[in-house]
Structure 1
């Protein structure tokens, strides 16, 4: 069975990239540092490389609980050497007297600054400041050019990684049965919404699967998929455990805590 059968067709280019990284490290003894990967990409990396005896993986996103992380892919003989992670943590302060900022504001401003999404990691927004991790090679550029988020003028500076504290990810697991693997059915199961309201949320662009907006209620989910519903939070289809006598799916759903 081909490994591609375990993943979606649109994930094939990334899987091919992972194979290339594995060959660079295992065959040609080259170290590779990836950009920031989302958890789905990290899962793929572990699936393709994780059990190799020739290659070792490590992940870091600036905090133990970071969601988006860079990966170090190295020959196995380097497994005991400390990784020098090229990650910077930046902190921006702003006046919160007349306005507030949220995660989407900061994310949009960073994207509009000319940075690609894979060049920065998690974002923490506080009352009058926000922090984020970025690729170290982007630090000077951001310090020189990133001065505003929406109407808020910001003062950006390097931060101590100790300020960038993110709780480690935990999932509250729940076993249940569902009639199908359609997106609207799974959204209803994880959110408590009716299937009609779940379908409406999908149609309004409020639902993402593996960090991509999906507007088709009939979209089929697979084991390991991440699911995000705006205003409700993030979930994961942790396992598909088979079918019942009534032909329903036995699944384990996880809801992100914190």
Structure 2
């Protein structure tokens, strides 16, 4: 089993992919640039790189300081990694928000409808009639030529400098909870203040994500650092497991994204 035993089974394919990237850099002494990875995938790559036999560094960029999805570069210690090495492109457009309402899901859906994979797409900003999309440089010309409408809104995207990217505030509100166990249904129930039945149904209906992947396993045991989300209720995370209470329940610290 080796290193895989430290990760959940569903993460094993990505573990294998990340290990192949690291092996490639070790053997060729040439940097490897990834597609956009979510924070959990970024964490995995950084952890695995630290176990490498070679002196490797992992760099990451997503366009802004608070970027969630980022491209990583795995490189030998001596390699110089420049900003342009990440090959990020910012596309910006506008729409009449008085006549049509657009959200993150609408923009991502329009992007994916072009036949481009999600891994080529970074963060999306949609606010006050403004659309900004950070994408992989190699697909930018195709997106510029073909993404001309989102829902009922006609748009015209233009390439802009990353310095124009609107930084989105990240505000996590922490709180202490006491749960019967670290099962997914118990933690979701506590964070979102749901009944046991509603928490279970949300999971079985595929409305809950764990580390950015849909999980329908109510009995999944969570760990500190796991990122959660419930459709329509926002994102949250299990910050810390504090131990058992006198009544043999579990004290945890959680955080909800405001």
Which TM-score applies when normalising by structure 1? 0.90
Partner of 1:13: 13
| Conserved? CA contact 1:64–1:167, under 8 Å | no
Q: Which residue of 2 aligns with 1:184?
A: 185
Deviates more, 1:179-188 or 1:19-28: 19-28
- Separation (CA, whole Å) in 2 of partners of 1:187 and 1:143: 40
Write out per-residue CA displacement over residues 182-227 of structure 1, whole angstroms, 9 at most, x where no aligned residue: 2221112212223233223334432211222233433332333210
- The alpha carbon displacement at 1:81 in A equals 4.2
Change (3 A) 1:23 1:121: same
Matched residue SS, 1:221: coil
Unaligned 5+ residue runs, structure 2?
Answer: none
The aligned residue for residue 211 of structure 2 is 210
* 2:29 pairs with 1:29: yes
Moved more, 198-207 or 56-65: 198-207
CA distance in 2 between partners of 1:134 and 1:94 (Å): 20
Question: Which range moves more in the overlay, 180-189 or 34-43?
Answer: 180-189
Asked whether the equivalents of residues 176 and 251 of structure 1 are also in contact (C-alpha less than 8 Å), the reply is yes
Alpha-carbon deviation of 1:35?
Answer: 0.1
What secondary structure, in the 3-state scheme, does the structure 1 residue paired with 2:24 have? helix
Q: Which residue of 2 aligns with 1:58?
A: 59
Aligned in 2, Cα 1:171/1:128: closer, same or farther, shift over 3 Å? closer
Contact 2:72 2:86 (8 Å CA) reproduced:
no
Aligned twin of 1:85: 86
- Following the alignment from structure 2 to structure 1, what is the Cα–Cα distance between the partners of residues 215 and 81? 42
SS of the equivalent of 2:248 reads coil
Counterpart in 1 of 2:140?
Answer: 139
Aligned residue pairs, count = 256
- 1:103 to 1:81, Cα distance in 2 relative to 1, 3 A: closer
- 1:23 to 1:224, Cα distance in 2 relative to 1, 3 A: same
Give the aligned partner of residue 101 of structure 1: 102
Change (3 A) 1:16 1:29: same
- TM-score of the pair, normalised by structure 2: 0.90
Unaligned runs of 5+ residues in structure 1 are none
Displacement of 1:170 after TM fit? 5.0
